[in-house]
Amino acid sequence: MSRFLRRKPARIAISFLAAVLLPLAWFAPQAAAKGSGSNLDRYLSVGKCVTIQAMIYCTDVGFLGSANGPWRKDLERALSVHAEDDTVQDVMTIVERLEKLSPSELEAHNKEQIARASSAANKATAVESVTSADSKTEPEATLGASASKALTKSTLPTKAYIIYDYYTRQINNRYCGPATMQAIDWADDGYKDSQHTWARIIGYRYGVGTPTIGIVNAINNYTNWDTKAGTYGLYRINNWTLEQFWYAHQLNIGRNHSPVVENPLLQRRFFSYLRYDHGGHFQTGRGYNRNLGTISVFEPYNEASFYSGGYPSGRVQYVPAALLLSAIKANLGEFSY
């Protein structure tokens, strides 16, 4: 039996934004008319890019890495990807969605996004500091409610698995995002809200798919995972190393016992349990084993249900970490934890 789904009270006082954020540098070029100009010009006329702890964060796009890195190039890449089929998120809808907001709605939306990002920034800076498998210590960072001391790789579990009994399959060929959110929320509170409910909340759109920021916002707004693991953020990981990818999983799953959101390209070259190639996708990251080199995901897509001769892929899967990272980079480069 489902309960009435309630949005949690905001934990961040938006009106005190200037007091709680670290010094920010705002990037606001001359605004382009709505619907005109390049993708980048259109985005920067409605979205905001700021520096938080020397990291660039762009609203609805996510963390783009160091302020000294190629973040503008990464932003342009994020805004130039187009959907190939119904399962792919078309990030052009970021611009379209923001352009539909009134000035007051847009201001409130961007402030909330930046406030959330400021809470998630410690995760970003901790992972950015990981340079090689030989590194022994990481800088002190608050990466969850119980964090109180500097982290070392030796103190992070080499393997961990969580949320064993909350696997869900997507109910149609397009609902990988709603199915992923359904599993994450179900594991949090024990109530299994419908995928149609989650599709509405996270902003699923037919022919386009699910915006990743919609899942991130839903985790922060409707579950308690952010209490355990710290505020969830959206990260563009095109420049991450495999060691950084491992470290993020060890922090969120191994240390804080909380899931992550994988956003890969679902194709056979990355996932051996497929018979056919598909498009952009969402999975729940719920375990890993560094000794075996694998990451465990809830695979919501059961290929046999939608394609003649398709494989029975919908179940808990174990994917080589290097292939999963490559699959994410081949898609939109998006990862959330």
Would you state the pLDDT for residue 48? 92
Has residue 50 been placed in a domain? yes
Residues 158 and 122 in one domain: no
In this structure, are strands 234-236 and 159-161 parallel, antiparallel, or unpaired?
unpaired
Question: For residue 74, what pLDDT is reported?
Answer: 83
Report pLDDT digits (tens) over 311-327: 999 999 999 999 999 99
Confidence of residue 154 (pLDDT cuts 50, 70, 90): low
Q: CA 313: distance to chain centroid?
A: 22
Q: What pLDDT score does 107 carry?
A: 93
Question: Do 174 and 121 fall within a single domain?
Answer: no
pLDDT above 50: residue 12: no
Same domain, 195 and 117: no
Average pLDDT of the segment spanning 5-29? 47
Say which amino acid occupies 92. M
pLDDT score, position 219: 96
Measure the CA dihedral 103/105/106/109, to 10°.
160
Q: How confident is the model over 116-130, as pLDDT tens digits?
A: 899 888 888 888 888
- The model's confidence at residue 77, banded by pLDDT at 50, 70 and 90, is confident
Q: Does residue 55 lie in a domain region?
A: yes
Do 112 and 199 share a domain, yes or no? no
Express each pLDDT in 174-194 by its tens digit.
999 999 999 999 999 999 999
More confident residue, 236 or 274: 274
Given a cut of 50, whether residue 3 has pLDDT beyond it is no
Select from 95, 128, 161 the last residue of a domain.
128
Q: Give whole-number Cα distances, 337 to 125, 142, 257, in Å.
A: 13, 14, 11
Mean pLDDT, rounded, for 1-21:
48
Q: What are phi and psi of 297, to 5 degrees?
A: -130, 150
Distances (CA, A) of 65 to 70, 265, 276, 314, 325: 8, 21, 33, 33, 16
Element (H, E) at 103: helix 103-128
pTM over 0.75: yes
Q: Is 157 found in the same domain as 28?
A: no
Q: Are residues 64 and 71 in contact, defined by beta-carbon separation less than 8 angstroms?
A: yes
Fill in the DSSP letter of residue 22: P
Distance (Å, whole) CA 60 – CA 30: 20
How confident is the model over 284-295, as pLDDT tens digits?
A: 999 999 999 999
Residue 133 belongs to a domain: no
User: What percent of the chain has pLDDT above 70?
Assistant: 78
pLDDT reported for residue 303: 97
Grade residue 68 by pLDDT with cuts at 50, 70 and 90: confident
Q: Is the pLDDT of residue 115 over 80?
A: yes
Query: Does the residue 148 lie in any domain?
Result: no
Which residues are within 8 A (CB) of 168 and not within 5 positions of it... i.e. 6 or more apart? 179, 182, 183, 186, 192, 195, 298, 300
Report if residue 147 sits inside a domain: no
Per the domain annotation, does 106 fall within a domain?
yes
Residues 162 and 202 in one domain: yes
* CATH code of residue 199: 3.90.70.30
Q: Are residues 59 and 92 in the same domain?
A: yes
**What single-letter amino acid sits at 230?**
G
Q: Which is more confidently placed, 111 or 125? A: 111
Q: Is residue 200 domain-shared with residue 308, that is, in the same domain?
A: yes
- Same domain for 103 and 208, yes or no, is no
Cα–Cα separations (whole angstroms), residue 226 to 79, 107, 146, 151, 198: 28, 24, 12, 19, 18
Domain boundary among 128, 163, 189: 128
- Mention every residue, 6+ apart, whose C-beta is less than 8 A from residue 294: 288, 318, 319, 320, 321
Residues 124 and 167 in one domain: no
Count of domains forming the chain: 2
**What's the domain range around 318?**
153-336
Give me the percent of the chain exceeding a pLDDT of 90.
56
Tell which of 128, 143, 178 closes a domain: 128
In this predicted structure, what is the pLDDT of residue 37?
A: 67
Residue 139 lies in a domain: no
**What are 22-67's pLDDT values in tens digits?**
444 445 444 455 555 677 888 989 999 999 988 899 998 899 888 8
202 has a pLDDT exceeding 70? yes
193-222: burial string, b at 16+ Cβ within 10 Å, e else: bebeebbebbbbbeebbbbbbbbbbbbbbb
pLDDT of 186: 97
**Minimal CA–CA distance to 185: which of 176, 174, 194?**
194
If asked whether residues 212 and 327 sit together in one domain, one would say yes
How confident is the model at residue 10, as a pLDDT? 56
In a domain, 137, yes or no: no
At residue 5, does pLDDT exceed 70? no
Q: Which residue has tokens 């922090």? A: 251
pLDDT (tens digit per residue) in 157-167: 999 999 999 99
Residues 21 and 107 grouped into a single domain: yes
pLDDT band at residue 81 using 50, 70 and 90 as cut-offs = low
How many Å apart are CA 55 and CA 52, to the nearest integer?
5
